[in-house]
A and B are shown apart, each in its own frame.
Chain A
Amino acid sequence: MSPQLIIFFLLAALAVAGALSLILARHPIRSALSLIVVMVALAGLYLLLGAEFVAAVQIIVYAGAIMVLFIFVIMLLNAGEEERTNLSRIATMAGLPLAVALGGFIAAAIARAPLLPPSSAAAPFGAASTKSLATLLFRDFVFPFELTSFLILVAILGALVLAQRES
C-alpha cells in the first residue's frame, strides 16, 4: 500500500461521500456544500496526477467562484427544503437500484476494457508542467482560447439581459 494509493482512496472516498450527500440532502445548501467538498477532493486527485495548474484553477474558478454563485442564488431565492411529493417518493425507491445498476455496468465495462497504455512514470510533468501547458494553450490551441473569451463575453451579456427588470 504505497502512500499514493492511500491518499487516492481517502480522496476518492471523500468525493463519493460528497456526491452521495449531494443527492441525499434535502436542503440545497447542504447539496452545494457537498459539491464543494467533491470539487476540493477532485483538486487533490488532480495534484496526485501531477496536474498542478489544473488543480489550482479548479479551486480558484470552480470551487471559489462558480459555487459561490450557486450559493448566492440559493440564498437569494431563499430555497427551502425539498417537499416530498408522491412522485418524488416513487422516484427515490426506483432510483437507488437503477443507480447501483448504472454504476456497476460502467465500472464493469472499464474493468474489462482492453489494457490502456501503461501509466508513465509518476508525474511525468513535474516542475515544467505549467510552462508546457501554457505553451500548448497559446500555440496549438490559441483559436479555441480566443473563442472561449468570446463565449464569456456572450455569457456576460446573457446574464445582464436576464437580470434586467421588466421596466
Chain B
Amino acid sequence: MVPTSYYLVLSAILFGLGVVGFVFKRNVITIFMAIELMLNAVNLAFVAFSQSFGKLDGQVFVLFVIVVAAAEAAVGLGIIILIARQRQSLNVERVDLLKL
C-alpha cells in the first residue's frame, strides 16, 4: 500500500518542474506545455486525496480540470499561432510589447 504522501511529494516535484519550465524556457509552446505539466501534477494530487479520503469528489474535479485544460489548449494554441504569424518568431522575448 503506497502512502498518500508519496503521491503528494511526486505531485510537488512535477509541479516544481513545471514552474521551472514556465519561468525559464523561451519557446512559447514549451511554456504552454509546462502549464499543462502543472495541471497534471495538480490532478495527481486530487486523485491521491480522493483515494485517501475514500470519496469520489476528487476524481470528478479531475474530469473538470481535464475539460478546462482542453478548452484552454484550443484557444491558447490559436492565439499562439496568430502571434507566431505576426512576429515570425516563437521566442517569448520578442513578445514584449502590447503594441504590434
Indicate yes or no for A touching B, C-beta below 8 A. Answer: yes
Chain A residues within CB distance 8 Å of chain B: 2, 4-5, 8, 12, 15-16, 19-20, 22-23, 28, 31-32, 35, 38-39, 42, 45-46, 48-51, 53-54, 57-58, 61-62, 65-66, 69-70, 73-74, 76-77, 79, 82-83, 85, 87-88, 91-92, 95, 98-99, 102-103, 106-107, 110-111, 113, 116-117, 119-120, 122-125, 129, 132-133, 136-137, 141, 144, 148, 151-152, 154-156, 158-159, 162-163
**Interface residue count for B (Cβ, 8 Å)?**
69
Alpha-carbon distance A92/B67, docked complex (angstroms): 33
Q: How far is the CB of A55 from chain B (nearest CB, A)?
A: 9
- In-complex Cβ contact of A106 among B2, B12, B30, B36 (8 A): B12
Given A16-B17, A22-B17, A28-B29, decide whether A116 and B52 contact each other with a Cβ distance below 8 A.
yes
Q: How far is the CB of B12 from chain A (nearest CB, A)?
A: 4
Given A117-B52, A119-B1, decide whether A110 and B9 contact each other with a Cβ distance below 8 A.
yes
Q: How far is the CB of B20 from chain A (nearest CB, A)?
A: 4
A-B pair number, CB within 8 angstroms: 221
- In-complex Cβ contact of A31 among B12, B33, B79 (8 A): B33
- In-complex Cβ contact of A42 among B3, B43, B69 (8 A): B43
Contact A91 B24 (CB under 8 A): yes
Chain B residues within CB distance 8 Å of chain A: 1-10, 12-21, 23-27, 29-30, 32-34, 36-37, 40, 43-44, 47-48, 50-54, 56-57, 59-60, 62-64, 66-75, 77-82, 84, 90-91, 93
Main secondary structure of the interface of A (DSSP, over half): helix
Given A79-B90, A158-B74, decide whether A129 and B56 contact each other with a Cβ distance below 8 A.
yes
Alpha-carbon distance A74/B4, docked complex (angstroms): 37
Contact A22 B34 (CB under 8 A): yes
- In-complex Cβ contact of A141 among B20, B29, B60 (8 A): B60
Given A38-B14, A129-B56, decide whether A82 and B26 contact each other with a Cβ distance below 8 A.
yes
Closest 4 A/B residue pairs (Cβ)? A162-B78, A155-B71, A106-B12, A23-B21
A23-B24, A42-B43, A119-B4 given. 18 additional CB < 8 A pairs? A8-B2, A20-B17, A28-B33, A31-B30, A32-B33, A46-B44, A57-B66, A62-B40, A65-B70, A91-B23, A110-B9, A119-B2, A119-B51, A136-B56, A159-B74, A159-B75, A162-B79, A163-B78
Instruction: Please give, as numbers and ranges, the residues of chain B lying within 8 Å of A73 by CB-CB distance.
Output: 29, 77, 80-81
